[in-house]
A and B are shown apart, each in its own frame.
Chain A
Amino acid sequence: MTETLLEVRDLKTQFATRDGVVKAVDGVSFELEAGETLGIVGESGSGKSVTALSIMRLVPPPGRIVGGHVKLKDRDLTTISEGEMQEVRGESIAMIFQDPMTSLNPVFRVGWQVAEPLIVHDEKKRQSAMGQATAMLGKVGIPHPGQRSKDYPHQFSGGMRQRAMIAMGLTTMPEVLIADEPTTALDVTIQAQILDLLDQVNREFGTATILITHNLGVVAGMCERVIVMYAGRIVESGPTADVFAHPRHPYTWSLLRSIPRLDADRHEPLQAISGIPPDLIELPSGCAFHPRCTFRVDRCSRDVPHLERVGETQMAACWVTQGGRDLNA
């Protein structure tokens, strides 16, 4: 029984905009255990990135965390001071972002940027920090790291920049690494390499990893468990293999069905999900997915379903499946 590293309980984050209050994260709860790989899947606007930013308390204004808590071991990250949070960021929890081209500071050398958390958090001397940074750059697969660490970001290729970002996140040996769409901005061939790297890092350093993506294939390759988000809420969670084989929520089910298959009949139409993503200011009543749901019943438009155990290993927030219906039959 491994320890629970991160506990997110009923997290709510909202953005106050001119047109109304956007409920980007609307009551999200999950746990992360030491060393495990968790995938968070959802389309744009599902709240997956905002969840990650909320954990880091990096939600940009006019966003605010309005409810719930996030516990790192026994510490409630939502209540500690900003100064204490700064000590957590980059040291205990590291986050890397989608676009490595714009995520690295163009005017500072890469080696220095990778070493910076060591200098600031671990108070290492510059020389030894640079040495460690160079070593880490080598570990993430950058050739000639000693030379490369003196280069500037624009001299790196896209894949190499993302590797450098990963190195930057790992130098302080954090317990949790959050990767927000780390491969989306990269070429397909490089994507595979980066995912392999993340996998390797997780195994070698034991860093618990949260991988946020809209790409089901990415999750299938790397994550032990997966959480599916829709309209700011978790609709399903469970071991990846089980969720993919037996989705217990109509949204997951529709997503999996919509993936084009190489072995399908050429003339079979693509199965898209009907309707459009919901307006996060005026969410549909009851279950947020019900307007687009094949399986909906009367109750779905009235009551908001909660995450309950459905099947042996999975949890889903759906009246229909909680009522015993098997979507795959």
Chain B
Amino acid sequence: MLAKYLLRRVLATVPVVIGVTLITFLIMHVTAGSYIPGVDLNPALKPEDIEAIKRYLGLDRPLYLQYLTWLGGIVHGDFGRSMIDGSPVSSHILDRLPATLELTITAILLGVLISIPLGVTGALRRGSKIDHALTAMSVAGFAVPAFWFGLMLILVFSVFLESKGLPFLPSGGVMTPGTNGGDLLDRLVHLILPATVLSFVYLSIWSRFTRSSMLEVLSQDYVRTARAKGMSERRVVYLHALRNAVIPLVTLVGLELPALVSGGLVVEVVFSWPGIGKLLYERALQTDYTTVLGITTFAALLVVLGNLLADVLYAILDPRIRYS
């Protein structure tokens, strides 16, 4: 039943988690070798000192032990320490996570809520001018580089409007400096542009996908049965068909989560949005490898969690999964 299915899904994530942490660990340690922060900067360090530091940091132990320490740390929420100032990565992540979640979840909701009507319209009016227009828009939307789109929107809705003395949208940040985040409207206004940019690309993909999913469903036998029962076309489309057509969309959104988080990074940078993506970027510019590694691992785990949630939603929507 549902519980068994969920348990299976949770268990299935364990190897993925191990795999992900292993991959990030390997990329870091095997390729960068054993690095010591700041070693190059201090010529007075003697080889024995370097050895001592290595031993202290545990870098002389066999690789698998290092990995297990790393994994163990993650299980406890320890994602390493910054190379620059030794601060724990996890505290930075916790600081910035809410902003990223705010942005990502809003983008997903926006994307799904707009894609479904667009996709259904395209399917119902297949081959018509509207369908062609929607398809053209989605193909174009998918080709627009997110960062450029963000810049353009800022140019138009922020800089240009402001220069004309018209009401304008903020060009960055979560809230107006000075307020302390309590003003909901202010936060919403700041959210508009970044969420729009992030959801834009996915809108294009998802609406086309909904369209083809809908077309596929509409050609199914059970839709013919519904019509044979004398159900009105509206009922057939919005009750019998749509209910089936959105199921693969859930899977697709789940599959796109890594890309969404990736895209989120770029959007966060363009809009100075204080999320974990921007954090990673800042630290990358400072060549703070360990923080970058820690955040990457965390982001991957976040995606795994998101997929799990998508699986739950899928099971709710599709009874065939629940009862098998």
Residues of the B chain whose Cβ atoms lie less than 8 Å from the Cβ of A226: none
A117 CB, min distance to chain B CBs, angstroms: 5
Quick check: is A44 within 8 A (CB to CB) of the other chain?
no
Contact A107 B221 (CB under 8 A): no
Q: Which of A88-125 contact B (CB under 8 A)?
A: 88-91, 94-97, 99, 102-108, 116-117, 120-121
A140 at interface, CB cutoff 8 A: no
- Which residue of chain A is the closest to B318 with respect to CB atoms? A107
Q: How far is the CA of A121 from the CA of B235 in the complex (A)?
A: 13
**Are A105 and B222 closer than 8 Å at their CB atoms?**
yes
Question: Does residue B4 face the partner (Cβ distance < 8 Å to A)?
Answer: no
B313 CB, nearest partner CB in chain A, Å = 14
Contacts A152-B323, A154-B320, A154-B323: A104 and B231 contacting too (C-beta < 8 A)? no
Given contacts A105-B244, A107-B317, A107-B318, whether A120 and B231 have CB atoms under 8 Å apart is: yes
Chain B residues with CB under 8 A of A97: 221, 224-225, 228
Interface of B is mostly: helix
Please measure, in the bound complex, the distance between the C-alpha atom of A104 and the C-alpha atom of B226, giving whole angstroms: 9
Contact with A along B293-324 (1 / 0, CB 8 A): 00000000000000000000000011110011
Residue on A nearest B239 in the bound complex, by CB:
A108
B225 touches A116 (CB 8 A): no
Bound-state Cα–Cα, A108 to B247, Å: 13
Given A107-B244, A107-B318, A107-B319; A90-B221 close (CB under 8 Å): no
Cross-chain contact B235 with A89 (CB below 8 angstroms): no
B227 in the interface (beta carbon within 8 A): yes
Choice from B222, B227, B247, B320 contacting A89 with Cβ under 8 Å? B227
- Chain A residues close to B by CB (< 8 Å): 56, 58, 82-83, 85-91, 94-97, 99, 102-108, 116-117, 120-121, 152, 154-155, 165, 168
User: B residues touching A (Cβ–Cβ < 8 Å)?
Assistant: 220-222, 224-233, 235, 240, 243-244, 247, 317-320, 323-324
A-B complex: 10 closest residue pairs judged by Cβ atoms? A90-B230, A89-B230, A90-B229, A102-B221, A105-B222, A95-B228, A103-B221, A152-B319, A86-B230, A103-B225
